[in-house]
């Protein structure tokens, strides 16, 4: 089965990226994955913006499918731009959310230094064989060097995390001081 874009027939599915409900009638990306419980394939569902950010190649494939429903032209250009970043910088698709480190034991995947307890960290996820797997953490100041681009990362982290205004400002400062 090819990847597809279609209107959600109900409001029951949750986005595999941000974990929020996909509202009935809104367009969603269906990323085709092998069925874990038998023959054939099934779909992982994403909001369009989440799919463009986290499953960039699949999103672009779905756009090329004539069977897929096309988004509004104004939104389409922005979504294509997000997906292009993900294709150009494959690690850019990995950040899932931001959280406070509960202990000081986790190490940054880029610099290999410990992430201090109580500090902000970016949780990373890999997509392997269609399954989304946790894959460690990243200092926000290491984001540019590890991801290749921090463009739109702040917006994604705000959307997928429960951050207060102070944490948003802290994250924004850390990302802006991120260097290669």
Q: How far apart are CA 154 and CA 151, in angstroms?
A: 8
| 3-class secondary structure, 19 | coil
Structure-token match 């023959």, residue found: 39
Task: Let me know: does 140 contact 126? Beta carbons within 8 Å.
Answer: no
This prediction has a pTM of 0.89
Write down the pLDDT at residue 38: 82
pLDDT value of residue 36: 76
Per-residue confidence (pLDDT) for residue 180, from 0 to 100? 63
Q: Tell me the two tokens of residue 27.
A: 């367009």
- pLDDT at residue 35 in the model: 81
- Segment-wise mean pLDDT, segments of 10 residues, the chain, 180 residues: 91 92 96 84 92 94 91 92 94 95 96 97 88 92 94 93 95 86
What is the structure's pLDDT at 167? Answer: 96
- Spell out the domains of the chain, with CATH numbers in brackets: 4-88 (3.30.1740.10), 91-176 (3.30.1740.10)
* Cα–Cα dist 112/8, whole Å: 42
């Amino acid at each position: 089965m090819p990847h597809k874009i279609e209107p959600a027939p109900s409001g029951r599915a949750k986005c595999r990226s941000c974990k929020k409900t996909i509202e009935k009638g809104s367009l969603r990306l269906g990323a085709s994955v092998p069925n874990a419980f038998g023959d054939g394939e099934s779909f992982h569902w994403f909001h369009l913006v989440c799919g463009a950010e986290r499953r960039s190649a699949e999103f672009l494939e779905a756009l090329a499918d004539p069977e897929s429903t096309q988004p509004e032209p104004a939104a389409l250009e922005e979504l294509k731009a997000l997906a292009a970043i993900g294709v150009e910088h494959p690690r850019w698709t990995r950040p899932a959310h931001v959280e406070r480190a509960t202990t000081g034991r986790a190490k940054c995947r880029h610099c290999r230094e410990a992430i201090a307890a109580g500090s902000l960290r970016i949780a990373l996820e890999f997509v392997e064989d269609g399954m989304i797997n946790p894959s460690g953490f990243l200092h926000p100041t290491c984001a540019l060097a590890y991801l290749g681009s921090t463009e739109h990362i702040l917006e994604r982290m705000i959307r997928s995390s429960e951050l207060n205004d102070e944490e948003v400002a802290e994250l924004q400062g850390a990302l802006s001081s991120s260097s290669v």
